[in-house]
């Protein structure tokens, strides 16, 4: 629009000032500019010849907004033949300042209609490119420095505030069937708003800087508009959507865009675009995670309303995600893959906390590797977009900690189908293996097969087992229902060593030998287990209990019954031990374990080996015991020491 106005000014000056006095020419130019609400206010150092026009300074004023348009060192070259055709040979301007006034609407300024260039062709004609080229009133235009500003612009649902554009070395050449534009470009924008609803997007403090000239070509023979740029940078520091604020810097390389023009309308199907983009310095307050060192490199292709995005994302220069996504704007459907190619964790240089900071939990992964592959398909339905596909996750010997729980060498290979509403269902039974789990006491060799179905709300574990206290704890099948969070299953204990249990307890002066086996009926509500009526029995030939005399103080010896018990337990050999177990994590007090023990055996130190039957009730708080065990060690040191021990075991 500004270039068209400039052409009208120069054509008027040349056509009339050469034949009449300058004052008459100015009035004729003002008559030409009246539909634009513009008026020529100043014309300094005007020099005319038969083939050129020069002016030191030209000032136009927009009467409605009182804004000025200024041209410095204007030189126009022309010929008589060209003037008869309404075309100048060349226009050169050292500097131009164009201010775009705010208009009440996109098409009117007050009651004055905005004129348009008409080719006289039918509105359905496809020869729009040639119409534009023929309407340009010069063969060439050069502006060393063009500055365009606008305080506020409205274009339909889009509102722009604080617009400023700087074009350096602007060259336009229009000859025969082609127009070419080249310029180094810098654009800043205080705000770009889309729509007026609270959840619409507001982009703030936008800047665009071309690292190489932006080249625009209009071809009449092919009726296409082409835009090319080797490098540029788009900075979006403030992307506000609803209550979140985000930002990113986009570096664009090898941009090529082609648009076939038709009837003056924008047609997405007629656009072809290719570009390489690097997204860096991402920020969002939607999460507290530091994304500053994350970078995404993408190749974008747009053809016939089909978008394809291929690339990868890096964190600390390590590739953490690759993508290949395709989307059809016409149908709203698409497909693609997301892959975690294999992240290796190392306690010294590449922990999970180095990649994701800060972590949402007190947790870290310090060894092992993880990889994942997701294949997605999406299509619109009546109210939303339905996403389906497949998911595969492989964990290989992961070691780390979660809160006060340390784990070592976790491995699994999980495969599932992705169902609508982001639900997962296992496509096969997956295995789970864990070398060590330290919850204050160490559980080793954990293993199980499992299946997950979030649509029906179930998790099924089969052949689960764990080694603890020298024996094993196992369950043939565990069905956990997510919907009611209430499941029941049987846990079997085999050859549990009593001496290892007592080694962890706070019962000083008490030791025992023997192996026990039994069953525990477990009820799992949420993540809280309870046991009612569990049983344990000693395996033949039994074992022994030793209780060191003196426990309980001198007062104990004054009671004959306690003295007898102390003597019996100094060395008690049992051949039968039966135990009933109850555990209620939500009881009063919480987490109490109750053991009712019945034993039969002899005491060699009492009456030459007198046979004694004992009934004992033992009560202890399991959470308190685990907390005391956890407090006695550093969870991160526990992971590292166990890793070092494993390396020593497997080293040559």
Q: Is residue 123 scored above 50 in pLDDT?
A: no
Whole-angstrom CA distances from 160 to 53, 109, 157, 191, 246 are 37, 17, 10, 6, 19
Q: How confident is the model at residue 4 (pLDDT cuts 50, 70, 90)?
A: low
Q: Is residue 555 scored above 50 in pLDDT?
A: no
The whole-number pLDDT of residue 133 equals 86
Lowest-pLDDT range, 8-17, 137-146, 494-503?
8-17
Token pair of 420 as six digits: 């609508």
**568-596 residue pLDDT tens:** 788 899 999 999 999 987 654 567 889 99
| Per-chain mean pLDDT for the chain | 84
The whole-number pLDDT of residue 550 equals 54
Lowest-pLDDT range, 27-31, 202-206, 466-470?
27-31
Q: Is residue 484 scored above 50 in pLDDT?
A: yes
Q: How confident is the model at residue 234 (pLDDT cuts 50, 70, 90)?
A: very high
The whole-number pLDDT of residue 118 equals 39
Q: Is residue 79 scored above 70 in pLDDT?
A: yes
User: Residue 358, preceding bond cis, omega within 30 degrees?
Assistant: yes
The whole-number pLDDT of residue 22 equals 62
Percent of the chain with pLDDT strictly greater than 70: 85
Q: Is residue 107 scored above 60 in pLDDT?
A: no
Q: Which of 358, 357, 325 is nearest to 339 (CA)?
A: 325
The radius of gyration of the chain's CA atoms, rounded to the nearest angstrom, is: 41
**178-231 residue pLDDT tens:** 999 999 999 999 988 876 655 577 888 999 999 999 999 999 988 899 999 999
Q: Is residue 119 scored above 50 in pLDDT?
A: no
Q: Which of 245, 229, 225, 227 is nearest to 237 (CA)?
A: 245
The whole-number pLDDT of residue 376 equals 97
CB-based burial, 404-430: b 16+ in 10 Å, e otherwise? bbbbbbbbbebebebbeeebbbbeeeb
The whole-number pLDDT of residue 337 equals 98
Token pair of 599 as six digits: 């034993």
The whole-number pLDDT of residue 610 equals 83
Q: Is residue 527 scored above 80 in pLDDT?
A: no
The whole-number pLDDT of residue 98 equals 92
Report the interhelical angle of 2-17 vs 22-33 (nearest 10°): 150
**409-462 residue pLDDT tens:** 999 999 999 999 899 999 999 999 999 998 888 899 999 999 999 888 889 999
> What helix, strand, coil percent values describe the chain, rounded to 5?
15, 60, 25
Q: Report pTM.
A: 0.79
pLDDT: which is higher, 478 or 27: 478
Sequence-distant (6+) residues with CB within 8 A of 320 are: 313, 314, 340, 341, 343, 355
The whole-number pLDDT of residue 608 equals 78
Please report, in angstroms and rounded to a whole number, the separation of the first and last CA atoms in the chain: 79
Q: How confident is the model at residue 125 (pLDDT cuts 50, 70, 90)?
A: very low
Lowest-pLDDT range, 20-24, 292-296, 482-486, 648-652?
648-652
């Amino acid at each position: 629009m500004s270039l068209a106005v400039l052409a009208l000014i120069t054509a008027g000056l040349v056509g009339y000032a050469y034949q009449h006095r300058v004052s008459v020419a100015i009035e004729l130019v003002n008559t030409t500019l009246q539909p634009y609400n513009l008026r020529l206010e100043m014309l300094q150092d005007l020099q005319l010849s038969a083939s050129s026009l020069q002016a030191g300074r030209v000032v136009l004023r927009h009467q409605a907004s009182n804004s000025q348009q200024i041209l410095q060192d204007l030189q126009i070259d022309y010929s008589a033949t060209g003037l008869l055709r309404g075309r100048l040979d060349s226009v050169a301007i050292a500097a131009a300042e164009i201010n775009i006034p705010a208009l009440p609407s996109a098409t009117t300024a007050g009651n004055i209609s905005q004129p348009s260039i008409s080719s006289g062709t039918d509105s359905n004609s496809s020869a729009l490119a040639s119409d534009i080229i023929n309407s340009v009133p010069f063969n060439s235009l050069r502006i060393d420095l063009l500055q365009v500003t606008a305080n506020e612009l409205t274009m339909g649902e889009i509102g722009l505030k604080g617009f400023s554009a700087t074009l350096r070395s602007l060259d336009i050449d229009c000859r025969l069937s082609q127009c070419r534009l080249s310029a180094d470009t810098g654009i800043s924008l205080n705000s770009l708003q889309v729509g007026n609803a609270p959840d619409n997007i507001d982009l703030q403090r936008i800047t665009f800087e071309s690292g190489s000239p932006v080249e625009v070509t209009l071809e009449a023979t092919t009726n296409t508009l082409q835009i090319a740029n080797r490098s540029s940078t788009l900075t979006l520091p403030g992307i506000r959507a609803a209550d979140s604020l985000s930002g990113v810097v986009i570096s664009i390389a090898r941009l090529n865009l082609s648009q076939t023009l038709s009837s003056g309308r924008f047609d997405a199907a007629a656009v072809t675009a290719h570009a390489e983009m690097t997204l860096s310095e991402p920020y969002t307050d939607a999460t507290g995670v530091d994304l500053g060192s994350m970078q995404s490199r993408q190749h974008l292709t747009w053809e016939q309303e089909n978008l394809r995005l291929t690339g990868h994302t890096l964190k600390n220069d390590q590739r953490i995600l690759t993508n290949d996504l395709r989307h059809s704007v016409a149908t709203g459907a698409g497909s693609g893959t997301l892959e975690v190619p294999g992240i290796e964790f190392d306690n010294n240089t590449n922990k999970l906390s180095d990649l994701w900071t800060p972590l949402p939990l007190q947790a870290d992964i310090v060894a092992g590797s993880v990889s994942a592959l997701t294949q997605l398909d999406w299509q619109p339905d009546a109210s939303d977009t339905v996403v389906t596909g497949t998911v595969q996750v492989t964990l290989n010997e992961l070691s780390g900690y979660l809160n006060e729980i340390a784990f070592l060498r976790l491995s699994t290979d999980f495969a599932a189908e992705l169902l609508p509403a982001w639900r997962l269902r296992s496509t096969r039974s997956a295995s789970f293996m864990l070398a060590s789990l330290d919850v204050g006491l160490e559980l080793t060799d954990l293993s199980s097969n499992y299946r997950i179905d979030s649509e029906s709300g179930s998790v099924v574990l089969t052949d689960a087992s764990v080694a603890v206290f020298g024996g094993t704890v196992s369950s043939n099948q565990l069905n956990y229902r997510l919907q009611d969070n209430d499941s029941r299953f049987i846990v079997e204990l085999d050859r549990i060593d009593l001496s290892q249990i007592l080694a962890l307890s706070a019962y000083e002066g008490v030791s025992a030998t023997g192996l026990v086996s039994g069953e525990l009926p477990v009820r799992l509500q949420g993540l809280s287990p309870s046991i009612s009526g569990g049983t344990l029995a000693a395996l033949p030939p039994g074992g022994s209990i030793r209780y060191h005399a003196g426990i309980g103080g001198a007062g104990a010896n004054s009671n004959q019954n306690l003295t007898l018990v102390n003597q019996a337990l100094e060395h008690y050999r049992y051949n039968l031990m039966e135990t009933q177990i109850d555990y209620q994590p939500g009881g009063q007090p919480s987490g109490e374990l109750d053991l009712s023990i019945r034993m039969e055996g002899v005491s060699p130190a009492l009456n030459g080996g007198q046979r004694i039957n004992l009934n004992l009730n033992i009560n202890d708080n399991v959470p308190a015991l685990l907390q005391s065990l956890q407090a006695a060690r550093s969870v991160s040191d526990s992971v590292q020491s166990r890793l070092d021990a494993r390396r020593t075991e497997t080293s040559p």
